[in-house]
Amino acid sequence: MKFILKLLIAALIANAAWHIMSAYTAYWKFKDAVTQTTQFGNDKSLTMLKGRIVQLATDYDLPVDDNDFTITRSRESLHTVVDGSYSRDIELVPGYSRPWAFPFHIDTFSDAPLTGDSR
């Protein structure tokens, strides 16, 4: 009986770890994709970048829309900054989930000339 209880606890911990890591894997992939998009997106307007970031969130099945983040771009220093966050329910134990916040701050610099509309 003691062995079965230990096995059950181990299974619950493994289940929670799997769900948390799955959510964080999508989060990290999304952040990397947004970093690449902003670093190599000097030829795109801020509206186009916003649309691309929303598309990336859809690709990674994340609940992000264009009101969940802001984009600012500095013409002088060629920095593009994306700030935002989203919340996702993670099932820690079968039948019990809790909201988990995923904030992101992406600050990229590109030495390519700025050709897109900065508005």
The pLDDT tens digits of the residues spanning 3-36 come to: 999 999 999 999 999 999 999 999 999 999 999 9
Spatial contact of 75 and 53, defined as CB atoms under 8 Å apart: no
Burial of 78 (0-12, 13-18, 19+ CB in 10 A): middle
Position of tokens 């920095």?
A: 79
> Looking at residue 74, what is its pLDDT?
84
Which residue has 């997106």 as its token pair?
41
pTM here is 0.86
On whether the CB atoms of residues 58 and 68 are closer than 8 A, the answer is no
Q: Sorting pLDDT into bands at 50, 70 and 90, what band is 118?
A: low
pLDDT digits over 42-63, tens only? 888 899 999 999 999 999 999 9
- The Cα–Cα gap between 77 and 109 comes to 8
Are 70 and 84 a contacting pair, CB within 8 Å?
yes
Q: What is the pLDDT of residues 68-101, one digit of tens each?
A: 999 999 877 788 999 999 999 999 999 999 999 9
